[in-house]
Amino acid sequence: MADDAESHREPEVNRFSITRRDFVRMGAAAAAAGASIKTTVLEASPFAAQAADGPPVRFAIVGTGIRGCDLLKAARTVPSGVCVGAADLYDMRHQAAQEVWGGAFATTRDYRVLLDRKDVDAVVIATSDHLHRRVTLDAVAAGKDVYCEKPMSHSVADGQAMVDAVAKGNRIFQAGSQRVSSILYAKAREIYSSGKLGEVHSIDAQWNRNSPGGAWVYPVPADASPQNVDWERFQQDAPARAFDPVRFFRWRLFSDYSSGLGGDLFVHMLSGIFAITSMNAAPVRAYSSGGLYHFKDGREFPDFLETLYDFSSANGPVQVHVHCNQNNNDADERISFFGSTGTLVVTGSSVTFTPQNVAARFEAYGWGGMTEAQRKKGQEDWRDAHAGAAQAAAPEAESFTVPRGYNDTADHLANFYRAVHTRQHVVEDEVFGHHAAIGCHMANYAYFHRTLANWDGDAGKIVG
Ligand SMILES: NC(=O)c1ccc[n+]([C@@H]2O[C@H](COP(=O)([O-])OP(=O)(O)OC[C@H]3O[C@@H](n4cnc5c(N)ncnc54)[C@H](O)[C@@H]3O)[C@@H](O)[C@H]2O)c1
């Protein structure tokens, strides 16, 4: 019934004279429906391509699998940093890392060899999630700054240990949700903080993927064996098991090493929301639903997960709905901020603002059950009551996209190098990273315990 009633509202706009505001309102609806609005291509930020004031940051990378190689590829384009060594537990990846970097550097299975080197300023960590804490703590103890891939932690306790260690060691730490450094998110932040959206109490974030080959079912090399995979080091901080290359190469499927969709994608979206709204805190509470509907291959996580969070922000309560679908649905990545005077939608390549028409207008819909004479009288009374009311100009709809080939990982690395040089903390520091990861752990807690997950800030833990 409610849907039927709502579907009758829009034609009422045309029953009476179309004001400029109505026109804007329809424009906003058209924009939301994908019709043409002015689109500006954003300029790439200058930092990534600039050389540093001093010598480039010399970093060693720990973990040169899929993401480690992507980081190295992006790092090639950022002159203020240089890779001087790499550690990985699968020997072929020593070669893969140098191929993608386009030059030779020292390689090892044991990252501590790299931490001992005086010519290493910083460490980039791209291991499976369960080892982020160990490598970070060792790197900080060795006096290195740290760029650690998202999700920062594999548990709340891991995250707190990392926050404490970084503070104690007075190191620069950046978590690796690169959207935070994106020029798109900077534009979204500018629009959000301009006040154009009015009050925002509702945010919806989704990331859906179409992976017909099997989500997270990454290749297991035919030659993988205990001879070329350092299985013992991989199992540190995880329950001991017999050699299993599927666990090593598809670790995202297993809770010993991964946090599932929460750690893989929720964290990106929560980090993006924090960056745009400056809301940097653990959620107050979370409720999750979902299931393992499609990929019944022994994985330990749902392939469809949705979580409703309550956040408390400086501007009042905010409900954040995050949902990810791996069931071969390619609706992709989108964060929508629903404000009282406008809607902001951020996708992987665009930011779109559409204003709401909030000017006073005759609400004809409510007069539908009246006689023609009553309706006319109501309209005349409304016009008399509003005669001479000021007509403020409504903001225009606007849209922005990134330039072709834009890479936010390069910007994120450049921000990290700059912080290493200046000793100024980055936006996505250890506390930010910890808060975003707590969001992911609360989503999983709520899902697996079938309960509300509440954040107990005094105890620093999730309670049911
Ligand atoms: N920011 C992003 O967009 C993004 C994208 C993908 C992955 N990630 C994150 O990057 C990390 C790595 O993911 P991936 O897809 O590259 O996984 P992967 O399995 O492809 O690579 C991980 C590598 O880490 C190595 N490793 C594990 N423990 C190690 C240790 N103690 N010492 C040295 N090497 C070790 C493994 O040998 C493996 O090669 C994860 O935390 C993941 O969440 C981030």
Q: Determine the distance separating the centroid of ligand 1 and the alpha carbon of 374, expressed in angstroms.
A: 69
The model's pLDDT over 132-156, given as tens digits with 9 standing for 90+, comes to 999 999 999 999 999 999 999 999 9
Q: Is the pLDDT of residue 11 over 60?
A: no
Burial classification of residue 353, based on how many CB atoms lie within 10 Å of its CB (0-12 exposed, 13-18 middle, 19 or more buried)? buried
Instruction: Please give the average per-residue pLDDT across 277-306, as a whole number.
Output: 96
d(CA 285, CA 457): 11
d(CA 249, CA 228): 13
Q: How far is CA 425 from CA 150, 161, 170, in A?
A: 18, 19, 10
d(CA 251, CA 385): 66
Decide: pTM greater than 0.85: yes
Residues with CB under 6 A from ligand 1: 62-63, 65-68, 87-90, 93, 111, 126-129, 131, 149-150, 176, 178, 233-234, 251
Q: Determine the distance separating the centroid of ligand 1 and the alpha carbon of 117, expressed in angstroms.
A: 22
Name the one residue in this structure whose structure tokens are 């013992």.
232
249 or 49: which leads in pLDDT: 249
Closest atom of ligand 1 to 218 CA is 20
d(CA 244, CA 252): 14
Alpha helices in 254-407 (DSSP H): 260-261, 267-277, 372-386
Name the one residue in this structure whose structure tokens are 């809770």.
255
Map out the domains of the chain with their CATH numbers. 2-44+181-213+247-359+392-407+429-463 (3.30.360.10), 47-177 (3.40.50.720)
Q: Determine the distance separating the centroid of ligand 1 and the alpha carbon of 440, expressed in angstroms.
A: 18
Q: Determine the distance separating the centroid of ligand 1 and the alpha carbon of 281, expressed in angstroms.
A: 26
Instruction: Please give the average per-residue pLDDT across 381-394, as a whole number.
Output: 83
Instruction: Please give the average per-residue pLDDT across 382-392, as a whole number.
Output: 84
| Confidence band, pLDDT 50/70/90 cuts, at residue 393 | confident
| Confidence band, pLDDT 50/70/90 cuts, at residue 36 | low
Q: Cα 384 vs. chain centroid, distance in angstroms?
A: 50
| Confidence band, pLDDT 50/70/90 cuts, at residue 130 | very high
Atom 34 in ligand 1: residue holding the nearest Cα = 88
Q: Determine the distance separating the centroid of ligand 1 and the alpha carbon of 135, expressed in angstroms.
A: 12
Q: How many other CB atoms are there within 10 angstroms of residue 134's CB atom?
A: 18
Q: Is the pLDDT of residue 330 over 90?
A: no
Residue 24 has what pLDDT? 39
| Confidence band, pLDDT 50/70/90 cuts, at residue 255 | very high
